[in-house]
Structure 1
Amino acid sequence: MKIEDYKNTLSIHRVPIASLRSEFDSSHFPFETTADLEKLANEMIGQRRAERAMEFGLSVEQDDYNLFVVGPSGTGRKTYTLDSVKKIAKKREVPNDWCYVFNFDNPDRPFVLTLPAGSGQQFQRKIETLLIDIEREFRSTFSSEEYEKRKQGIIDEFRDQTEDLWEAAEDFANEHSFNLERTPTGLNSYPLYNGKPLERKKFEQLSDEVKERIAASEKLVDGKIRETLHQIRKLEEQLEKNLEQFMRESAATSIESLFQPLREAYKDYPKILDYLEAYFHDVVVHFSLFLASEEDDQNNIMSALIGSKEQHFHRYTVNLLVNHKSQKGAPVIYETNPTYNNLFGKIEYRGSLGSWVTDFSYIKPGALQLANGGYLILQATELLEQPYVWSLLKRALQTGTAQIENLFEDRGMVPTSGIKPEPIPLNIKIIIIGSYYLYDLLSAVDDDFHKLFKVKVEFDTVMDRNQENCYKMAMFVKNYAEQEGLLPFHRSAVAKIVDYSSRLVEEQSKLSTRFHEITKLLVESSYWAKKEEAAVVDSSHIEQAISEQINRTNHASEQIREMIQKGSIMVDTEGFRVGQINGLAVLGTRDSVFGIPTKITAQTFAGKSGIMNIDREASLSGQIHNKGLMILTGFLSGEFAKNRPIPLSASITFEQTYSTIDGDSASSTELYVLLSSLAEVPINQGIAVTGSVNQWGEIQPIGGVNEKIEGFFHICRERGLTGGQGVIIPKQNVANLMLDQEVIDAVNLGEFHIWAISHIAEGIELLTGVEAGNIRDESGQYRAGSIFARVEDRFNMMYEAAKANNQ
């Protein structure tokens, strides 16, 4: 190729200066500083799809329309979700309060009661007051004169009946010549003879007939006594029943007036009426506990076993589980630590006689109960890290109930006394925030996921770079600056922020929606502006902040460049070499991504083994890179083996690489070096190459184009720019260029160049200065002296040599 033709080729493919970076014109902003702007309303910038999905998901009332907010961190998904949920929650009604009360029929199964918002606390206080009033009424009733009089009447009646029985027994005994004597120590009976007590001495002197008669009478009298005692015991039992019934009736009568207002107040709540009725009967049955003094309670041995009076009175209290008295609108709970207890609630215990016991008053709510009737927001990562929680959350949504239970009760070292509270009906909307990976994982492994989370709210990482979004970006800058106490930003600074946002997504027509990267730049640029005692942040402060950020994280890239300068890593940036080329790779650390040149070499020789990828043989090549090598074989075979096989053996490798190589961005580079080796045409070492290739030789776009260009530029600049150095990129990647100003300045001065191509033939001409000649003439031949003609000649020689060897 003639020099003039080569220069023309260079000029044709050279990327214009204007295309190396898209710079926003700050004059398009209708403000001087962000202080002149109005605040940004509660909306996301460039997330129209997510906004519509969020609005639908939060507004639809049907079951199982829970939301999964998906997107990368830093896109504002959490902030927007919280703001959106709170906004719609304010328009909804406040949900009911929930209470747990004692189940008088089955203490291990506490009842749940629901009341309108704010009424739960009133109900709790009414029950507390009721308990105090009951005790007061009982003490008043059972110490009254009328009560004592009626009680004494029952006792006197018993005594009269008892006395009648004794008199009848005495009369019976007298009829049989016996006398009955009642003493404090018991009952004595003795025979009478001639109306006088018969002494033992005189009894011995009686005839046997009289003795027998006395014995018979004694037997009859003893039977009468037993009969009388039996009747008296029955009277005593009846007395106890009568007294108990009387006291209970007295108790019931005394407190009836206390319950009646409550029955009237809660007549529309059947479950509360049932509870009050059970409460009433239990209090009447256990009225004696209300009459016992604290001293009696302390001296009572049984209190240690069955619980004190105070502990017993727990059953007459109300456990107000969820209180919405101060709530405005529906509740919104963002649970940052969704452990089982934090999410589903728990049952606490107290120690008693070497074991753990509990009751309904020890039931504590979780986020699920507190957010019932509203919205619960969870982070997917934290949720899935907790054992059993995901499965139990699904069960709650599927059953529509929230069950509070001790999940690990049977695993305790100390015996426990457990309860199983009645489940609470669930009316809640769950919003989970997570990554694309977790969303795809749950979709793949959990059949219930899409049934329960029917609304996907997807946050994108990019948005269009139009006037509207750029203006909203400025409003975001204002909001954040005022929120964090930063200086106002000049419109020139905002323009630089817009450019920086495009650089983050590597596309001139797009902006990044990962605003946490923007906020870091805002904070640091404001810091440098304050340090200079400037009134506003201008473009120079933005540039300084970017420079400082790079300087803090480029230690690894500087080390690699230093090794290249010292020759430890061998990279040529001048001269021509056959079978050697500079490819471009992107490396990354935790907080930095940078490009470096890598020497790629190839050797070609006669044989049948094909292209050997040395890195693959050494297990240092990834699957995508292996695919790229196979594409090279396809291109060469399709181009040069239409009529006969290619007797080719070749080896190709990335020199001085000791870690896994993957990706196909160097496949075009590997094809160039193979063509150079086959055609024995040297490649300009001052030009680095990136881009993938297909089997037709068409160049395809790659990622990290800015970092790759800048990485090679820094190496060339440190060695001294010659004016002939540059980088070849795919034409499609021109839209991704957002290069640093120092690169653009060098290009503008002609010290460095960026070329964009669409086919392998264009690239090989730029690299070698030799015509590619990839178009065959009418006779099917390539143009003599061209790269493709030389390659075909080399293949012909190999083929003939192979034939000769086979003969």
Structure 2
Amino acid sequence: MTVKPLALDRLYRPADLSRLAFATTADLEPIDGLVGQARAAEAIDFGTRVEHPGFNLFVIGPQGARMQDAVKALLVAQAATKPRPNDWVYVNNFTDPERPIAIELPPGRARAFQQAMHELIDDLQSALPAVFQSEDYQTRRGAIDEAFQRKQAEAFAALREKAGTQDIGILRTPLGFALAPVKEGQVVPPDEFATWPEARRQAVQAAIATLEKDLEHIVHQIPKWEKQRRDEVRELNRETAKFAVDQQIDEAKADFTDIARVTRHIETVRADLVENVAMFVAKGEEGEEGVDELRPGTPFDRYEVNILVTQDGREPGVPIIEELHPTLGNLIGRIEYLSRRGVLTTNFRLVKAGALHRANGGYLLLDARAVLMEPFSWTALKRTLRRGEIAIEDISRFIGLTSTASLEPDPIPLKVKVVLFGDRLLYFLLAAYDPELGEHFKVLADFENDLARTPETEAILARLVAGIAGRNGLRPFDRDAVALVLEHAARLADHAGKLSLVVEQLREVLIEADFCARDAAREVVARSDVESALAARIRRAARIRDRAQEVILEKVALIDTAGTHVGQVNGLSVTELGGFAFGRPTRITCRVRPGSGKVVDIEREVELGGPVHSKGVLILSGFLAGHYALDTPMSLFASLVFEQSYAGVEGDSASSAELYALLSALAEAPLRQDLAVTGSVNQHGAIQAIGGVNEKIEGFFDICRARGLTGTQGVLIPEANVQHLMLRADVIAACEAGSFAIYPVATIDDGIALLSGRAAGRRATDGRYPPDSLNGQVEARLRAFASIRRDFARQGGKDTGP
């Protein structure tokens, strides 16, 4: 069958905007959200509404699909219909300060609780010193001190009187009290005392010994009296403090009688205030001003309230939190420290909320790759979801760097819907290697890369373009500009019958087209602006492509675009670097000789060929064995190589080109060098579809155009790839002028006939190919190889060949 070049309408499918009547996108109703994502939308709706544990979402799709924005827009509507979650605060644990207490409050009440406690302590810092400086307190305190002094004075007076009757005096020395004989009110010197009669001295010494026991008893009583005084002062302080505190505490409690945990905490504060009133009085006596005594780390912050999460001032509904930097601390919360006199200290006021706290009751959006890249975050997230509560963990303990006391705050019950975003490969790898993934993320939402191209879907995408332009503050796009954007979306989808849903790529084109229109001082973006933007994008990224074409045009890399050659064909490959893909021709050659039936892939032999490429070459042996000389052992040695290829080769898209080169070498039939070939082949000789067909055609076209189009040049592509064609305008123009052609090929026979200019030939009723057909010559050559091998064996030669 003679292969005809494709008609022009098969090379490019223009947009059909007949379903929309508009001049510019300003006339269109914008559309946002999940366009063409019915499957994903259904999964997201299910995952966000099911309440059971483990039914969190894992959203996957292509990069640039802006999945986060689309899902967030869908969640906003659902979040607004749900009641706001409760507030959470941490307060001091007066029994065990290292274990702060978590208290749950109704939405928006945390701020009022914090303010009430702040005002309570602020008021008491003024009220308590005033009460303790009052006349009543000072009088009662003075009475206690006076009673102590009087009791002490009376005891010493009685002892002094008793000693005086015996001519003995009580002396106060630096070392304490001492007893000594006196005469006429003066202490008797030791020398004089020594002259006294022995009997008198002994009597004085006996009296002094008795009085010393009395003095010792009094001295021992003084600490007891002092303790009694302190107890009485302490009780007076309690009574006075309770009198001052009770009214303030009752006022603070009045607004929270409906919250039992809060009232219990305030009662605990009451008891602690009474016991620790001294620090308020001491502060009042110091009279310092300008010092914030309620900052973290000061004695008074024990009575403060640390708001962890509050709904005060937020929109109705549950929160939607997106954490872009999910470190362990940012995810589950952290404990901060203050340096005081060279020592790190902390308390409950330095407990900080994480994303899970802020999203509690609502939705938490995380990038899966970012979570996995942060140490401990992935395991902490799974552990938190399994426990159903948020426990703040200090990362320094995990890595053995704890050098100071830390806290163990009360865990907070967790009720959150986690939405992870990632690419498909990452999800499938996690599913394969982390068995816990299915336990915590049971709902998969898979975003489509594209949608079927119909007039209806083109109208939807046109409205999406209007929405992107509006959201980004771009100029309106006219009808022809929108049409080109839709056609570019089909090119991005690598399919004339589909439209890409990778929104970010379209957005970039729209922004750049708007820039071109601004430079041209146009208020409306025209088709020419979109063309300029697309051309500029290619030009910025095409340096490597241009260098690759340059080495071909300078004949450093050998590629023929005219003439014929035996065992040589132009294959086509695609290179993608940094998101830019381009095609380039590669010379494929083949040499044959008699052998043991082995087709050698030189790329594989030197480990430059990947497994898929090697599979494609091995298929060639199956094709030969099943099509030629069926009654004769395969006695062929063939070597195939990508000439001047110095990097790895992967994929089977060149397998048909390799087979053409092999058949040409066997039949000694020259192949046209003005044609290039792409397409894989199976063992039955059917040409199969490949990727990057547009880039491959354009890559060969660029070389031909640079050397001069002859009118005979073209590209053979698989027939199945015709539906993917969305070629550049210059390629279409060349095809229209008859200077270039695209040939759809269904079988190897069709392709070899076009390349060689000779009929491939079919087996006749006698089972043989026509002798003058190319297949007939291939079969004859293989039989000749077999005969040579048999003759060699009969002559006693040892077959050690390839």
- State TM-score, norm by structure 2: 0.90
In structure 1, the partner of 2:2 is 9
Deviations 1:662-720 (A, max 9, x none): 11011111111111111222222222221111111111111111111222223333333
When residues 123 and 803 of structure 1 are mapped into structure 2, their CA distance, relative to the original with a 3 A threshold, is same
**Retained in 2: the 8 A contact 1:405–1:421?**
no
Q: 1:369 aligned to 2:357?
A: yes
- SS for the counterpart of 1:292 is helix
In structure 1, the partner of 2:299 is 312
Amino acid at match of 2:793: N
Give 1:722 shift. Answer: 3.2
In structure 2, the partner of 1:333 is 321
Q: 1:357 aligned to 2:345?
A: yes
When residues 471 and 265 of structure 1 are mapped into structure 2, their CA distance, relative to the original with a 3 A threshold, is same
Aligned residue pairs, count: 786
**Retained in 2: the 8 A contact 1:112–1:423?**
yes
Aligned to 2:509, which of 510, 521, 526? 521
Q: 1:721 aligned to 2:709?
A: yes
In structure 2, the partner of 1:302 is none
**Retained in 2: the 8 A contact 1:525–1:541?**
yes
In structure 1, the partner of 2:237 is 247
CA distance in 2, matches of 1:309, 1:399: 31
Deviates more, 1:269-278 or 1:592-601: 269-278
In structure 1, the partner of 2:798 is none
**Retained in 2: the 8 A contact 1:289–1:309?**
no
Q: 1:395 aligned to 2:383?
A: yes
Amino acid at match of 1:29: L
Aligned to 1:85, which of 75, 83, 86? 75
Give 1:517 shift. Answer: 2.0
In structure 1, the partner of 2:676 is 688
In structure 1, the partner of 2:20 is 29
Give 1:38 shift. Answer: 1.5
CA distance in 2, matches of 1:196, 1:28: 129
When residues 605 and 142 of structure 1 are mapped into structure 2, their CA distance, relative to the original with a 3 A threshold, is same
Give 1:333 shift. Answer: 2.2
Give 1:437 shift. Answer: 2.3
Alignment of 1:766-805 (within 5 A): 766-777=754-765, 779-805=766-792
Amino acid at match of 1:586: V
When residues 308 and 491 of structure 1 are mapped into structure 2, their CA distance, relative to the original with a 3 A threshold, is closer
CA distance in 1, matches of 2:547, 2:357: 56
**Retained in 1: the 8 A contact 2:17–2:459?**
no
In structure 2, the partner of 1:222 is 212
**Retained in 2: the 8 A contact 1:29–1:491?**
no
Gaps of 5+ in 1: 1-7, 299-305
When residues 315 and 496 of structure 1 are mapped into structure 2, their CA distance, relative to the original with a 3 A threshold, is same
Aligned to 1:477, which of 441, 459, 465? 465
Give 1:153 shift. Answer: 4.0
Alignment of 1:129-528 (within 5 A): 129-158=119-148, 178=166, 208=199, 216-293=206-283, 296=286, 311-328=298-315, 329-408=317-396, 416-528=404-516
In structure 2, the partner of 1:70 is 60
Deviates more, 1:537-546 or 1:689-698: 537-546
Give 1:606 shift. Answer: 1.0
CA distance in 2, matches of 1:368, 1:335: 9
Give 1:796 shift. Answer: 1.4
Aligned to 2:106, which of 97, 110, 116? 116
Aligned to 2:720, which of 732, 747, 751? 732
Deviations 1:340-397 (A, max 9, x none): 3333333333322332222222233332322222222222233222222222222222
Q: 1:550 aligned to 2:538?
A: yes
**Retained in 1: the 8 A contact 2:693–2:725?**
yes
CA distance in 1, matches of 2:477, 2:354: 45
Deviations 1:106-134 (A, max 9, x none): 22222222222222121111111211332
- SS for the counterpart of 1:620 is coil
When residues 743 and 262 of structure 1 are mapped into structure 2, their CA distance, relative to the original with a 3 A threshold, is same
CA distance in 1, matches of 2:211, 2:587: 130
When residues 759 and 411 of structure 1 are mapped into structure 2, their CA distance, relative to the original with a 3 A threshold, is closer
Give 1:538 shift. Answer: 3.2
Give 1:403 shift. Answer: 3.1
When residues 544 and 665 of structure 1 are mapped into structure 2, their CA distance, relative to the original with a 3 A threshold, is same
- State TM-score, norm by structure 1: 0.89
**Retained in 1: the 8 A contact 2:769–2:775?**
yes
CA distance in 2, matches of 1:198, 1:492: 129
**Retained in 2: the 8 A contact 1:488–1:536?**
yes
Q: 1:706 aligned to 2:697?
A: no
CA distance in 1, matches of 2:777, 2:364: 70
When residues 187 and 524 of structure 1 are mapped into structure 2, their CA distance, relative to the original with a 3 A threshold, is closer
**Retained in 2: the 8 A contact 1:178–1:192?**
no
**Retained in 2: the 8 A contact 1:297–1:309?**
no
Deviations 1:383-441 (A, max 9, x none): 22222222222222222333334422698999534333333332222222221222122
CA distance in 2, matches of 1:227, 1:559: 110
CA distance in 2, matches of 1:785, 1:264: 108
Deviations 1:432-470 (A, max 9, x none): 222122212222222222211222222121111123321
**Retained in 2: the 8 A contact 1:603–1:650?**
yes
Deviates more, 1:700-709 or 1:558-567: 558-567
CA distance in 1, matches of 2:89, 2:16: 63
CA distance in 2, matches of 1:441, 1:360: 41
Amino acid at match of 2:327: T
Give 1:764 shift. Answer: 1.7
Q: 1:19 aligned to 2:5?
A: no
- SS for the counterpart of 1:571 is coil
**Retained in 1: the 8 A contact 2:676–2:700?**
yes
CA distance in 1, matches of 2:119, 2:502: 57
Deviations 1:201-226 (A, max 9, x none): 79966674x76666555544433343
Give 1:510 shift. Answer: 0.5
**Retained in 2: the 8 A contact 1:33–1:490?**
yes
Deviations 1:605-646 (A, max 9, x none): 112261122222233222111111100011111223533311
Alignment of 1:562-601 (within 5 A): 562-601=550-589
**Retained in 2: the 8 A contact 1:170–1:179?**
no
When residues 157 and 398 of structure 1 are mapped into structure 2, their CA distance, relative to the original with a 3 A threshold, is same
Give 1:776 shift. Answer: 4.6
Amino acid at match of 2:301: H
Q: 1:602 aligned to 2:590?
A: yes
Amino acid at match of 2:74: S
Gaps of 5+ in 2: 795-802
Give 1:647 shift. Answer: 0.8
CA distance in 1, matches of 2:785, 2:228: 125
Aligned to 1:613, which of 575, 587, 601? 601
In structure 1, the partner of 2:638 is 650
**Retained in 2: the 8 A contact 1:124–1:320?**
yes
In structure 1, the partner of 2:84 is 94
Give 1:549 shift. Answer: 2.9
Give 1:800 shift. Answer: 1.4
Amino acid at match of 1:314: D
CA distance in 1, matches of 2:88, 2:660: 75
In structure 2, the partner of 1:51 is 41
Give 1:269 shift. Answer: 3.3
